[in-house]
Protein backbone atom coordinates (compact mmCIF):
# COMPACT_ATOMS: atom_id res chain seq x y z
CA UNK A 1 0.00 0.00 0.00
CA UNK A 2 2.97 2.34 0.49
CA UNK A 3 6.14 1.31 -1.39
CA UNK A 4 7.62 4.78 -0.91
CA UNK A 5 9.96 6.31 1.72
CA UNK A 6 8.60 6.66 5.25
CA UNK A 7 9.98 10.06 6.24
CA UNK A 8 10.00 13.10 3.94
CA UNK A 9 11.58 16.51 4.27
CA UNK A 10 8.74 19.05 4.28
CA UNK A 11 9.04 21.59 1.45
CA UNK A 12 12.51 20.33 0.62
CA UNK A 13 14.59 21.04 3.70
CA UNK A 14 12.14 21.64 6.51
CA UNK A 15 12.88 24.68 8.65
CA UNK A 16 16.62 24.53 7.99
CA UNK A 17 16.53 26.16 4.55
CA UNK A 18 14.30 28.34 2.38
CA UNK A 19 11.30 26.22 1.47
CA UNK A 20 10.64 24.97 -2.06
CA UNK A 21 14.13 25.85 -3.31
CA UNK A 22 17.09 23.87 -4.56
CA UNK A 23 18.90 25.01 -1.41
CA UNK A 24 16.21 23.22 0.55
CA UNK A 25 16.79 19.97 -1.32
CA UNK A 26 20.55 20.30 -0.82
CA UNK A 27 20.03 20.80 2.89
CA UNK A 28 17.81 17.74 3.05
CA UNK A 29 20.56 15.71 1.39
CA UNK A 30 23.06 16.92 3.98
CA UNK A 31 20.84 15.34 6.64
CA UNK A 32 20.42 12.10 4.72
CA UNK A 33 16.99 12.85 3.28
CA UNK A 34 16.37 11.38 -0.17
CA UNK A 35 12.63 11.99 -0.03
CA UNK A 36 10.91 15.36 -0.09
CA UNK A 37 7.52 17.02 -0.26
CA UNK A 38 7.14 20.26 -2.18
CA UNK A 39 4.42 22.52 -3.59
CA UNK A 40 3.65 23.46 -7.18
CA UNK A 41 1.81 26.61 -8.26
CA UNK A 42 1.26 28.37 -11.59
CA UNK A 43 2.40 31.87 -12.48
CA UNK A 44 0.20 34.13 -14.60
CA UNK A 45 1.91 32.87 -17.75
CA UNK A 46 1.34 29.27 -16.61
CA UNK A 47 4.88 28.40 -15.55
CA UNK A 48 4.70 25.67 -12.88
CA UNK A 49 6.99 26.77 -10.04
CA UNK A 50 7.81 25.52 -6.56
CA UNK A 51 5.82 27.79 -4.24
CA UNK A 52 3.58 27.47 -1.20
CA UNK A 53 2.07 30.87 -0.50
CA UNK A 54 -0.32 32.31 -3.11
CA UNK A 55 1.05 35.79 -2.48
CA UNK A 56 4.41 37.48 -2.02
CA UNK A 57 5.48 38.85 1.34
CA UNK A 58 6.73 35.88 3.37
CA UNK A 59 9.20 33.93 1.21
CA UNK A 60 9.36 36.41 -1.65
CA UNK A 61 9.77 40.19 -1.22
CA UNK A 62 7.13 42.65 -2.29
CA UNK A 63 3.39 42.31 -2.72
CA UNK A 64 1.13 40.68 -5.26
CA UNK A 65 -0.43 37.35 -6.10
CA UNK A 66 1.66 34.61 -7.68
CA UNK A 67 -1.22 33.81 -10.04
CA UNK A 68 -1.16 37.41 -11.26
CA UNK A 69 2.60 37.67 -11.80
CA UNK A 70 4.70 36.38 -14.69
CA UNK A 71 7.64 34.04 -14.24
CA UNK A 72 10.07 36.57 -15.70
CA UNK A 73 9.39 38.88 -12.75
CA UNK A 74 9.30 36.22 -10.04
CA UNK A 75 12.54 34.56 -11.08
CA UNK A 76 14.47 37.75 -10.34
CA UNK A 77 13.36 37.86 -6.69
CA UNK A 78 15.42 36.76 -3.71
CA UNK A 79 13.80 33.65 -2.23
CA UNK A 80 16.43 33.00 0.42
CA UNK A 81 17.19 36.19 2.34
CA UNK A 82 14.04 35.86 4.46
CA UNK A 83 15.46 32.67 5.96
CA UNK A 84 18.93 33.99 6.71
CA UNK A 85 21.94 35.78 5.20
CA UNK A 86 23.62 32.52 4.21
CA UNK A 87 20.78 31.90 1.73
CA UNK A 88 20.62 35.42 0.30
CA UNK A 89 20.34 35.37 -3.46
CA UNK A 90 18.64 31.99 -3.67
CA UNK A 91 16.04 31.96 -6.43
CA UNK A 92 12.76 30.12 -6.72
CA UNK A 93 12.82 27.28 -9.23
CA UNK A 94 10.53 25.89 -11.84
CA UNK A 95 8.94 22.49 -11.46
CA UNK A 96 11.20 21.26 -14.27
CA UNK A 97 14.30 22.39 -12.35
CA UNK A 98 13.03 20.79 -9.16
CA UNK A 99 12.29 17.51 -10.92
CA UNK A 100 15.70 17.48 -12.58
CA UNK A 101 17.49 18.10 -9.30
CA UNK A 102 15.55 15.45 -7.41
CA UNK A 103 15.91 12.84 -10.13
CA UNK A 104 19.62 13.59 -10.48
CA UNK A 105 20.16 13.17 -6.74
CA UNK A 106 17.88 10.18 -6.15
CA UNK A 107 15.28 12.14 -4.16
CA UNK A 108 11.79 10.62 -4.13
CA UNK A 109 9.01 13.20 -4.40
CA UNK A 110 5.58 13.93 -3.03
CA UNK A 111 4.43 16.69 -5.39
CA UNK A 112 1.66 18.76 -3.86
CA UNK A 113 -0.46 20.54 -6.46
CA UNK A 114 -1.31 23.87 -4.86
CA UNK A 115 -3.38 26.17 -7.07
CA UNK A 116 -2.67 29.81 -6.28
CA UNK A 117 -6.18 30.73 -7.42
CA UNK A 118 -9.32 28.59 -7.62
CA UNK A 119 -9.65 29.40 -11.32
CA UNK A 120 -6.25 27.78 -11.87
CA UNK A 121 -7.06 24.49 -10.13
CA UNK A 122 -7.68 22.38 -13.22
CA UNK A 123 -4.81 23.87 -15.19
CA UNK A 124 -2.39 23.52 -12.27
CA UNK A 125 -3.28 19.85 -11.87
CA UNK A 126 -2.99 19.22 -15.60
CA UNK A 127 0.34 20.97 -16.18
CA UNK A 128 1.92 19.52 -13.04
CA UNK A 129 0.92 15.97 -13.96
CA UNK A 130 2.12 16.36 -17.55
CA UNK A 131 5.51 17.69 -16.43
CA UNK A 132 6.02 14.88 -13.92
CA UNK A 133 4.82 12.27 -16.40
CA UNK A 134 7.34 13.43 -19.02
CA UNK A 135 10.20 12.89 -16.58
CA UNK A 136 9.05 9.38 -15.67
CA UNK A 137 8.13 7.97 -19.08
CA UNK A 138 10.37 4.90 -18.73
CA UNK A 139 9.03 4.02 -15.27
CA UNK A 140 5.44 4.44 -16.44
CA UNK A 141 6.02 2.21 -19.45
CA UNK A 142 7.62 -0.47 -17.28
CA UNK A 143 4.64 -0.34 -14.95
CA UNK A 144 2.18 -0.73 -17.81
CA UNK A 145 4.05 -3.86 -18.94
CA UNK A 146 4.28 -5.24 -15.43
CA UNK A 147 2.03 -3.78 -12.68
CA UNK A 148 4.29 -5.44 -10.09
CA UNK A 149 7.39 -3.71 -11.47
CA UNK A 150 9.72 -2.21 -8.83
CA UNK A 151 9.49 0.99 -10.86
CA UNK A 152 6.24 1.67 -8.99
CA UNK A 153 8.25 2.76 -5.96
CA UNK A 154 10.15 5.31 -8.07
CA UNK A 155 7.13 7.28 -9.25
CA UNK A 156 6.31 10.50 -7.39
CA UNK A 157 2.94 10.77 -5.69
CA UNK A 158 0.82 13.72 -6.74
CA UNK A 159 -1.25 15.13 -3.87
CA UNK A 160 -3.58 18.07 -3.40
CA UNK A 161 -6.25 19.58 -1.18
CA UNK A 162 -8.00 20.53 -4.43
CA UNK A 163 -10.21 17.72 -5.64
CA UNK A 164 -10.57 19.43 -9.02
CA UNK A 165 -6.81 19.79 -9.44
CA UNK A 166 -6.25 16.15 -8.60
CA UNK A 167 -8.99 15.01 -10.97
CA UNK A 168 -7.33 17.04 -13.71
CA UNK A 169 -4.02 15.38 -12.88
CA UNK A 170 -5.73 12.01 -13.16
CA UNK A 171 -7.01 12.86 -16.62
CA UNK A 172 -3.63 14.20 -17.78
CA UNK A 173 -1.42 11.41 -16.39
CA UNK A 174 -3.66 8.58 -15.15
CA UNK A 175 -0.78 6.22 -14.34
CA UNK A 176 0.85 8.55 -11.82
CA UNK A 177 -0.16 7.72 -8.23
CA UNK A 178 -2.34 10.22 -6.38
CA UNK A 179 -2.98 11.07 -2.73
CA UNK A 180 -5.95 13.13 -1.58
CA UNK A 181 -5.10 15.76 1.02
CA UNK A 182 -7.54 16.65 3.81
CA UNK A 183 -7.06 18.53 7.06
CA UNK A 184 -9.83 16.55 8.78
CA UNK A 185 -10.93 13.23 7.33
CA UNK A 186 -14.49 13.72 5.98
CA UNK A 187 -17.27 11.16 6.09
CA UNK A 188 -17.06 10.64 2.32
CA UNK A 189 -13.29 10.12 2.24
CA UNK A 190 -13.50 6.67 0.70
CA UNK A 191 -15.84 7.80 -2.10
CA UNK A 192 -13.47 10.65 -2.88
CA UNK A 193 -10.48 8.33 -3.04
CA UNK A 194 -12.39 5.99 -5.32
CA UNK A 195 -13.31 8.85 -7.68
CA UNK A 196 -9.68 9.92 -7.82
CA UNK A 197 -8.43 6.34 -8.07
CA UNK A 198 -6.01 7.44 -5.37
CA UNK A 199 -3.46 5.23 -3.67
CA UNK A 200 -3.41 7.12 -0.37
CA UNK A 201 -5.10 9.53 1.99
CA UNK A 202 -2.92 12.40 3.23
CA UNK A 203 -4.05 14.17 6.39
CA UNK A 204 -2.96 16.20 9.41
CA UNK A 205 -1.67 14.05 12.23
CA UNK A 206 -3.34 16.49 14.65
CA UNK A 207 -6.82 15.35 13.65
CA UNK A 208 -6.07 11.66 13.22
CA UNK A 209 -7.23 8.97 15.65
CA UNK A 210 -6.27 5.29 15.89
CA UNK A 211 -9.79 4.38 14.77
CA UNK A 212 -9.65 6.56 11.64
CA UNK A 213 -6.19 5.28 10.81
CA UNK A 214 -7.43 1.71 11.01
CA UNK A 215 -10.40 2.47 8.75
CA UNK A 216 -8.12 3.88 6.06
CA UNK A 217 -5.70 0.98 6.28
CA UNK A 218 -8.46 -1.65 6.35
CA UNK A 219 -9.86 -0.11 3.16
CA UNK A 220 -6.54 -0.79 1.45
CA UNK A 221 -5.11 2.72 1.18
CA UNK A 222 -1.80 4.24 2.12
CA UNK A 223 -1.92 6.78 4.97
CA UNK A 224 0.38 9.79 5.01
CA UNK A 225 0.52 12.54 7.65
CA UNK A 226 1.77 16.11 7.73
CA UNK A 227 3.71 17.78 9.46
CA UNK A 228 5.21 15.76 12.32
CA UNK A 229 8.00 17.56 14.17
CA UNK A 230 8.13 15.55 17.39
CA UNK A 231 9.87 12.17 17.41
CA UNK A 232 7.58 10.75 20.09
CA UNK A 233 4.51 11.72 18.10
CA UNK A 234 6.00 10.08 15.02
CA UNK A 235 6.42 6.82 16.93
CA UNK A 236 2.83 7.05 18.17
CA UNK A 237 1.15 7.54 14.80
CA UNK A 238 3.34 4.99 13.07
CA UNK A 239 2.09 2.57 15.71
CA UNK A 240 -1.45 3.34 14.53
CA UNK A 241 -0.56 2.16 11.03
CA UNK A 242 0.45 5.45 9.42
CA UNK A 243 2.73 4.64 6.50
CA UNK A 244 4.72 7.84 6.20
CA UNK A 245 4.95 11.49 7.20
CA UNK A 246 6.77 14.70 6.39
CA UNK A 247 8.68 16.77 8.90
CA UNK A 248 10.19 20.22 9.26
CA UNK A 249 12.70 18.94 11.82
CA UNK A 250 15.05 16.98 9.63
CA UNK A 251 17.68 17.72 12.27
CA UNK A 252 15.72 15.85 14.96
CA UNK A 253 14.10 12.96 13.08
CA UNK A 254 16.36 10.73 11.04
CA UNK A 255 15.42 9.98 7.47
CA UNK A 256 15.93 6.26 8.12
CA UNK A 257 14.12 6.21 11.46
CA UNK A 258 11.41 3.84 10.10
What pLDDT is attached to residue 125?
98
Q: Is 10 a catalytic residue?
A: yes
CB atoms closer than 10 angstroms to residue 88: 13
Q: What is the mean pLDDT of each run of 10 residues along the chain (258 residues)?
A: 96 98 98 98 98 98 97 98 97 98 98 96 98 96 90 96 98 98 98 98 98 98 98 98 98 96
What pLDDT is attached to residue 116?
94
Contact 37, 160 (CB under 8 A): no
CA neighbor of 61 nearest in space, from 37, 80, 36, 40: 80
Q: Kindly report the length of the chain.
A: 258
What pLDDT is attached to residue 1?
85
Q: Is 205 a catalytic residue?
A: no
Catalytic residue selected from 10, 83, 202, 205:
10
What pLDDT is attached to residue 231?
97
Amino acid sequence: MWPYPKVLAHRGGGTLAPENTLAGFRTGLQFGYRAAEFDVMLTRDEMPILMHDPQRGRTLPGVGQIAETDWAQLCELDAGAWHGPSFAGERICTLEQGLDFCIGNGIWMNVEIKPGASAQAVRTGELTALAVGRRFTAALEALRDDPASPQAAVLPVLSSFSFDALMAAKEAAPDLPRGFLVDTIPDDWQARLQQLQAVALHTSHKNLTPQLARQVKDAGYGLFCYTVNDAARAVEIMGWGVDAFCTDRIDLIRADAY
